[in-house]
């Protein structure tokens, strides 16, 4: 049976399309990455309006160094790199070697200036973040978009990586509803549910952060670290 959209869904779809067409335009490179994700059954990049919003945060907060946890095919890293100043850097960490290779294929198509801002790291995020800490590397923003059972671990490491006055941004913090529903949505584990609830509780701590969550489809948490 054909699904009949509610007025709200219709309205939401139309307003999103309108906003995307006017403000969050993908070039062919970004379109190609999104398509390759779709073909490979990984339709899980951030949305263009999220990319544009984070570009705005990068510019208004004068962010120079970003650490990204979860490169996937490089879609978000490209949005971010394009908003960084020419001497900006984004360290992007990916566990799956296949994903890193695909991302590199797209990064190589960027202009030299943008490409030079991106530092790819292939490995386990926890140990790679610890390596960055041991090299005394700090950042102005961390973007967490990786395994949904490890966000609290990444947040603890962020404490040592993100400067005061910096940002913590995290995707999927509504966990398909798993953080507020009293049952487990499909494909969400109890471990991920407990983890994300703790992550959000910690991030809502007013003494440490000025924070909120955007009601995007999957939830996008944004915190300013005091
Ligand atoms: C999944 C991962 C994501 O980062 C996302 O934005 C949506 C879904 C997933 O693993 O299912
Ligand atoms: Mg995500």
Name the residue with the closest Cα to ligand 1, atom 1.
Answer: 44
The mean pLDDT of the chain is 95
How close is the Cα of 1 to the center of ligand 2, in Å?
30
- State which of 41, 125, 148 you would mutate to test the pocket of ligand 1, scoring each by most atoms of that ligand within 8 A of its C-beta: 148
What is the pLDDT at residue 2? 45
139 touches 62 (CB < 8 A): no
69 touches 148 (CB < 8 A): no
Question: CB of 94 closer than 6 A to ligand 1?
Answer: no
Decide: helix, strand or coil at residue 113.
helix
Q: Which residues contact 64 (CB under 8 A, 6 or more apart)?
A: 84, 85, 87, 88, 89, 140
Which helix (H) or strand (E) element contains residue 155? helix 151-161
Name the residue with the closest Cα to ligand 1, atom 9.
Answer: 44
What is the pLDDT at residue 13? 83
Residue 10 pLDDT exceeds 80: no
pTM here is: 0.95
Question: CB of 126 closer than 6 A to ligand 1?
Answer: no
What is the pLDDT at residue 217? 84
């Amino acid at each position: 049976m054909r699904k009949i959209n509610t007025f709200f869904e219709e309205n939401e779809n139309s307003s999103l399309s309108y906003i995307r067409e006017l403000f969050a335009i993908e070039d062919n490179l970004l379109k190609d990455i999104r398509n390759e994700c779709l073909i490979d059954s990984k339709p899980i990049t951030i949305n263009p309006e999220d990319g544009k919003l984070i570009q705005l945060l990068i510019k208004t907060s004068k962010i120079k160094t970003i650490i990204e946890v979860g490169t996937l095919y490089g879609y978000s890293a490209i949005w971010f790199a394009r908003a960084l100043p020419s001497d900006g850097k984004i360290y992007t960490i990916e566990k799956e070697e296949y994903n890193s290779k695909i991302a590199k294929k797209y990064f190589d198509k960027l202009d030299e200036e943008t490409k030079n801002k991106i530092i790819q790291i292939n490995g386990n995020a926890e140990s790679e973040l610890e390596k960055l800490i041991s090299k005394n590397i700090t950042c102005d923003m961390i973007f967490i978009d990786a395994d949904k059972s490890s966000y609290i671990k990444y947040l603890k490491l962020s404490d040592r990586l993100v400067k005061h006055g910096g940002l913590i941004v995290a995707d999927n913090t509504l966990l398909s509803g798993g953080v507020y529903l009293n049952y487990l949505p499909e494909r969400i584990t109890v471990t991920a549910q407990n983890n994300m609830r703790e992550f959000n509780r910690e991030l809502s701590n007013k003494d440490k952060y000025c924070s909120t969550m955007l009601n995007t489809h999957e939830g996008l948490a944004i915190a300013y670290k005091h």
